[in-house]
Amino acid sequence: MLIVQKYGGSSVADAQCIKRVASRITKNKNEGHEIVVVVSAMGDTTDYLVDLVNEVTENPGEREMDMLLSTGEQVSIALLAMAVKDLGFDSISMTGAQAGIYTDSVHTKARIKEIQCDRLRDELAMGKIIIVAGFQGLNHSGDITTLGRGGSDTTAVALAIALDADICEIFTDVDGVYTADPRIVSEAVKLDTISYDEMLELAHLGAQVLHPRSVELAKINNIPLHVRSSFNLNSGTIVKEVDNMEQAVVVTGIAHDLNVARISLFDVPDKPGIAWKVFQALAEAHINVDMIIQSAMEDNINDISFTIGASDLSIALNLMDSIKNDVGFSRYTWDDSIAKVSIVGAGMATNPGVAARMFGALAKNNINLDMISTSEIKISCTINNNQAVEAVNALHKEFNLDKN
Ligand code: ASP
Ligand code: MG
């Protein structure tokens, strides 16, 4: 079998961890498999690098940001390849560029365009264990790009697809995908399987266990993912296509996201093309907009509120200043002390009353709702961020997720 494995930052946090991962990899190699490993930066290295930038400048520029953040993974691939060789196996480390990973040019949020696998295949044919730097690639001008925080998962899935791997294993520090973040919900239960669609919603809604783009790629190419712990041999959660018969439960999981900010525009003229101008400006700056709410119109003016990732807030506020006169709104407010809590479940589409149950559970805990949005298989609302833990626990109970 050809196996692609990804080890996250906590699995390679120090020398001891790196040696443990090396021995796990070599055991799989001894079982007769071909192995391609993707690794993240050690522990909190990437956070540390971001903090360092903040001490140096407010305007790092995205190209230089990628140049810096990509170094974290270069450290871990080299050390892991050394540890594997130390165990008597042939191994080679490769940066994204050396592995033939080409992306578009959107620095800090690049998307993989193609992977030229010739070198990878040659090295595999020579029997080597290949260790590839996650989260990075090369654009067509020859500059290093990164795929967005947590992007190593996407590197792994993209490599698995390009190499036509038999399986893609995502190793992390938890046993799999849980009904809610086990760090804040003690009754959270590990799921044995979850559908791509539910996982995609959970990943977008703040569950940090998988990078959303990796789930999207896996779904499009129908490649199952096995999310499991690198600290034990337990089997984890399989993310795959699940047919409707199996989707008996209404709510599969609860997600929360503290990295959210809301911007509200007031007295926006009610005429065609206005929303387009606002959201076009955000799109051109590559800012992902999540919830959008336009309230009932009065006197030909509207209020529009939307949410974005908190890390995009300062860029978005600058943009609002620059389009204010052209768009014609009178003023704006913003709030980054909010959290988004969401319930996700494929069974929701066919079961009425789910929203009422959600809002009821929150009301009983005196939690005020700010914005609300829904899709076929999820309901999200924003609340004050200091009530997020309470909200997630209340919803976990309401939908009996501890009894899975
Ligand atoms: N090291 C990068 C990050 O921390 C990429 C990753 O871990 O997947 O975001
Ligand atoms: Mg990481």
Find the length of the chain: 404
**What is the tally of structural domains in the chain?**
2
Residues 260 and 376 in one domain: yes
Cα 43 to Cα 16: distance, rounded to the nearest angstrom: 12
pTM of the entire structure? 0.88
Instruction: Note whether residue 11 is domain-resident.
Output: yes
Residue nearest ligand 1's atom 8 by CA: 150
CA 206 – ligand 1 centroid, Å:
15
Q: Which residues line ligand 1 (CB under 6 A)?
A: 8-9, 40-41, 46, 72, 134-135, 149-152
What residue ranges of the chain have pLDDT lower than 50?
Answer: none
Q: Which residues pair with 265 in a beta bridge?
A: 304, 332
**Helices H, strands E: what count in the chain?**
12, 18
- The preferred substitution site among 145, 149, 159 for testing ligand 1, maximizing ligand atoms within 8 Å of CB, is 149
Residues 269 and 394 in one domain: yes
Residue nearest ligand 1's atom 9 by CA: 149
- The preferred substitution site among 48, 108, 135, 215 for testing ligand 1, maximizing ligand atoms within 8 Å of CB, is 135
Task: Dig out the tokens for 102 from the structure.
Answer: 């080409």
Looking up residue 294, the CATH number of its domain turns out to be 3.30.2130.10
- The preferred substitution site among 42, 44, 46 for testing ligand 1, maximizing ligand atoms within 8 Å of CB, is 46
Are the C-beta atoms of 82 and 12 separated by less than 8 Å?
Answer: no
- Residue that finishes a domain, picked among 173, 188, 222: 173
Domain of residue 359 covers: 254-403
Residues 28 and 138 in one domain: yes
Cα 13 to Cα 19: distance, rounded to the nearest angstrom: 11
Of 123, 91, 92, give the one whose Cα is nearest residue 26. Answer: 91
Residues 10 and 149 in one domain: yes
Q: Which atom of ligand 1 is nearest to the CA of 135?
A: 5
- Residue 198, Cα to own-chain centre: how many angstroms? 14
Task: Dump strand ranges (E) for 270-401.
Answer: 289-294, 301-309, 331-344, 372-375, 378-384
Task: Dig out the tokens for 215 from the structure.
Answer: 């789930």
Looking up residue 12, the CATH number of its domain turns out to be 3.40.1160.10
- The pLDDT value recorded for residue 219 is 96
Instruction: Note whether residue 227 is domain-resident.
Output: no
Residue nearest ligand 1's atom 5 by CA: 150
- The pLDDT value recorded for residue 245 is 53
CA 309 – ligand 1 centroid, Å:
17
Task: Dump strand ranges (E) for 95-141.
Answer: 101-103, 112-115, 129-133, 136-138
CA 214 – ligand 1 centroid, Å:
13
Residues 136 and 263 in one domain: no
CA 191 – ligand 2 centroid, Å:
22
- The pLDDT value recorded for residue 381 is 96
Cα 25 to Cα 35: distance, rounded to the nearest angstrom: 8
Residue nearest ligand 1's atom 6 by CA: 150
Give the orientation angle of helix 313-327 with respect to helix 274-284, to 10 degrees: 150
Instruction: Note whether residue 234 is domain-resident.
Output: no
Q: Which ligand is nearest to the CA of 69?
A: 1
Sheet of 34-39: strands edge to edge? 91-94, 129-133, 34-39, 2-7, 167-172, 225-229, 237-240, 193-195
Residues 22 and 123 in one domain: yes
Residues 162 and 42 in one domain: yes
Residues 147 and 29 in one domain: yes
- The pLDDT value recorded for residue 390 is 97
- The pLDDT value recorded for residue 208 is 83
Instruction: Note whether residue 208 is domain-resident.
Output: no
Instruction: Note whether residue 245 is domain-resident.
Output: no
- Residue that finishes a domain, picked among 149, 173, 197: 173
Rounded to a whole number of angstroms, the distance between the first and last alpha carbons of the chain is 33
Instruction: Note whether residue 207 is domain-resident.
Output: no
Are the C-beta atoms of 381 and 371 separated by less than 8 Å?
Answer: yes
Q: What is the DSSP letter of 186?
A: T
Residues 47 and 164 in one domain: yes
CA 347 – ligand 2 centroid, Å:
32
Longest dimension (CA), the chain: 76
- Residue that finishes a domain, picked among 173, 197, 219: 173
Instruction: Note whether residue 242 is domain-resident.
Output: no
- The pLDDT value recorded for residue 297 is 74
